[in-house]
Chain A
Amino acid sequence: MVPTNTKNFDTLVVGGGIAGLQTALDLGDQGYSVAVVEKDASIGGKMIRLSKVFPTLDCASCITTPKMSAVAHHENITLFTYCTLNSLDHDNSGEDSGNKFPGINAPGVKATGLKALITQNPRYVDPIKCIGCRQCEYVCPVHVPDMEQGGLSATKVICIPFSNAIPQLPMMDIENCMLCGQCEKACPTNAIDYFQKPERFIITAKTAVITTGFDLLPVRDNVQYGNAKIPNVIDSLQMERLLAPHGPYNRVLRPSDGMEPDSIAYVQCAGSRDKSTGVSYCSRVCCMYAIKQAMLLSGSLPLADIIIYYMDIRAFGKGYEQFYQNAKAMGIEFIKAKVARIDEGENGQAQVRYELQDGSGIATADHDLVILSMGMIPAWNPGAICPVSKDSDKFITSIKPKISPVLTDMEGVFVAGAAAGPKDIVDTITESGCAAMEAAKFMSKRLVEN
């Protein structure tokens, strides 16, 4: 069925991570109307899930939440969370999309307007009635792994994804719901709606900015590091949760038994710079976040041995080399070695087998907790959804990587942040401002031409 519900904006931002939020704010502040379409139930992307951020060691939540809130309350920005982008392309349908460029939708005229088909996925909660009191969550009797906490603790079948999620709306996981009706009974505003259906709508816009970010390579695909089956071998985003004040245990403990770890190791380039995993490139931020996490660990567990197994340290940004030197001065041990495999050791330990890069041979070491700095891969594959090109690394192609890295091969479509390749927050913010500027330039140029 073709949806009839059409909403018109100047810019469509796909992805509500820090790149999408910054782009939306930079455009919204200039008076452009912006739609942010986010696939998750909350905006904030990876940054809201981090503990602290290098190189300043600011609390991630403290600097991301105000941006999330600014976007949510901005008069020129509309948020569409928990939505699926089904298609995004130039619109040459000839329909009146209500935009200010006369003629762009007329048949035969080169299309410059964009049209996106979106599905609002059901939360099974009425967003107008819900007051975010979480009574539904408290009474729900079924526990499921809380993926917002790396699966290390549980949440309920109906829950608000995390404490500072925006919007503060719960969603129901119907795969695990037993329809007991307790949430409905507890809801003071009758907001539970077991019959909610997906709703499709169209967004038309003059420009779009793709800010779909990255995911980590799944540990379960990595045979030599145990396919996620070895206890106490976790990925770096799980470690961010262990370090976060609102993490699963509110402190750093070993997931297998709650022991405070005494020996912690980081395995760098786990999956990155490795053709066999399909990630032959460097993921760029792993050296810095491993150093950051190691520093935070040495603060919370001052007696623990912390080791980083690395191939090269890439401290590429302003103040990053100093950050690395500070970590060494704090007693964090850096071993230049390639970890060949990890096996289950004794008493919950993980045994790391590594080859020293100075040629002195192979060694093994046992650690209470091992963190894999997995490679970064694109979170979104445009595939049949959008005709924008991908590079050989599968991130969105930037057609002018030197002079304007935010330009894609689709007119009026720009890219920012980790959607174009692995990068840190500083570069993501800079690129987002650049994408907003290019989009504004594109729109004002068109207005003058017409």
Chain B
Amino acid sequence: MKTINTDKDRDRDKEAKKAAMKELRGVRKNLIAAASATMKLQRKELAAIKAFLKAEAATIPQIAAAIDMPTDKTLWYMATLKKYGQIIEAQKEGAFFKYALNEADNPPKKAEA
């Protein structure tokens, strides 16, 4: 195993890693571009869902209609937010369940003094 002795060694390793990462980014340029575009869209869509839920709990069709997203995609996101603890299931309305933001995971911002 390699031991890092001096600051100089550490700096050299850092530089080498930086160069290797740059090269890897070059090799994976197209994949990275596609993944970044996906991530940006997902971030926007997730933010829209969460913003809508700030006001009140809602069913999948209600959320989908409000943010203009297909219902299956909305459910896909909601299942994911639930898995990562960001939303919780609330009461039932007809054949649908409502979902609410998990306050424990999204603490409300302190009111401005």
**Which residues of A line the B interface, CB within 8 A?**
138, 141-143, 145-146, 149, 152-155, 157, 174-179, 181, 194-195, 231, 248-251, 253, 255-260, 262
Q: B71 and A256: CB pair below 8 A? A: yes
**Chain B at the A interface: SS class:** helix
Please report which residues of chain B, range 76-92, place their CB below 8 angstroms from some CB of chain A when the two chains form the complex: 76-80, 82-84, 89, 92
Q: 7 shortest A-B CB distances, which residue pairs?
A: A153-B79, A258-B60, A257-B71, A178-B35, A154-B80, A258-B75, A248-B79
Known: A258-B60, A260-B92. 7 other contacts (CB 8 A): A145-B76, A152-B76, A154-B76, A178-B32, A179-B28, A194-B21, A259-B95
Question: With A157-B35, A177-B35 in contact, is A257–B60 under 8 Å at CB?
Answer: yes
Q: A179 and B25: CB pair below 8 A? A: yes
> Measured between alpha carbons, how far is A138 from B80 in the docked complex, in Å?
12
A163 to chain B, nearest CB (A): 10
Q: B28 and A260: CB pair below 8 A? A: no
**Which residues of B line the A interface, CB within 8 A?**
20-21, 24-25, 28, 31-32, 34-36, 38-39, 42-43, 59-61, 64, 71-72, 74-80, 82-84, 89, 92, 95-97
A259 to chain B, nearest CB (A): 5
> Measured between alpha carbons, how far is A231 from B76 in the docked complex, in Å?
13
> Measured between alpha carbons, how far is A308 from B64 in the docked complex, in Å?
32
A245 to chain B, nearest CB (A): 13
Q: A195 and B89: CB pair below 8 A? A: no
Residue of A nearest to B97 (CB): A258
Q: B38 and A176: CB pair below 8 A? A: yes
**Chain A at the B interface: SS class:** loop
A-B contact list, 20 entries, CB within 8 Å? A153-B80, A153-B83, A155-B80, A177-B28, A178-B39, A179-B21, A181-B21, A195-B24, A249-B82, A251-B97, A256-B71, A256-B72, A256-B75, A258-B60, A258-B75, A258-B78, A258-B97, A259-B60, A259-B95, A260-B96
Question: What residues of chain A lie closer than 8 Å to B60, measured between beta carbons?
Answer: 257-259
Question: What residues of chain B lie closer than 8 Å to A256, measured between beta carbons?
Answer: 71-72, 75
Q: A262 and B95: CB pair below 8 A? A: yes
User: Of A154, A157, A179, A262, which one neighbours B24 at CB under 8 angstroms?
Assistant: A179
Residue of B nearest to A262 (CB): B95
Q: A141 and B21: CB pair below 8 A? A: no
B51 to chain A, nearest CB (A): 18
Question: What residues of chain B lie closer than 8 Å to A179, measured between beta carbons?
Answer: 21, 24-25, 28, 32
Q: A194 and B24: CB pair below 8 A? A: yes
Residue of B nearest to A137 (CB): B84
Question: What residues of chain A lie closer than 8 Å to B64, measured between beta carbons?
Answer: 257
Question: What residues of chain B lie closer than 8 Å to A155, measured between beta carbons?
Answer: 80, 83
Q: A257 and B35: CB pair below 8 A? A: no
A296 to chain B, nearest CB (A): 19
Of the candidates A145, A178, A248, A258, the one having the most CB atoms from chain B within 10 angstroms of its own CB is: A258
> Measured between alpha carbons, how far is A149 from B71 in the docked complex, in Å?
18
A45 to chain B, nearest CB (A): 23
Question: With A178-B32, A257-B61 in contact, is A154–B95 under 8 Å at CB?
Answer: no
> Measured between alpha carbons, how far is A145 from B79 in the docked complex, in Å?
11
> Measured between alpha carbons, how far is A195 from B17 in the docked complex, in Å?
10
Question: What residues of chain B lie closer than 8 Å to A153, measured between beta carbons?
Answer: 76, 79-80, 83
Question: What residues of chain A lie closer than 8 Å to B96, measured between beta carbons?
Answer: 257-260
Question: What residues of chain B lie closer than 8 Å to A260, measured between beta carbons?
Answer: 92, 95-97
Question: What residues of chain A lie closer than 8 Å to B39, measured between beta carbons?
Answer: 141-142, 178
B57 to chain A, nearest CB (A): 13
Residue of B nearest to A154 (CB): B80
User: Of A154, A177, A258, which one neighbours B71 at CB under 8 angstroms?
Assistant: A258
Question: With A176-B31, A260-B95 in contact, is A141–B61 under 8 Å at CB?
Answer: no
Q: B20 and A195: CB pair below 8 A? A: yes
User: Of A154, A157, A174, A195, which one neighbours B79 at CB under 8 angstroms?
Assistant: A154
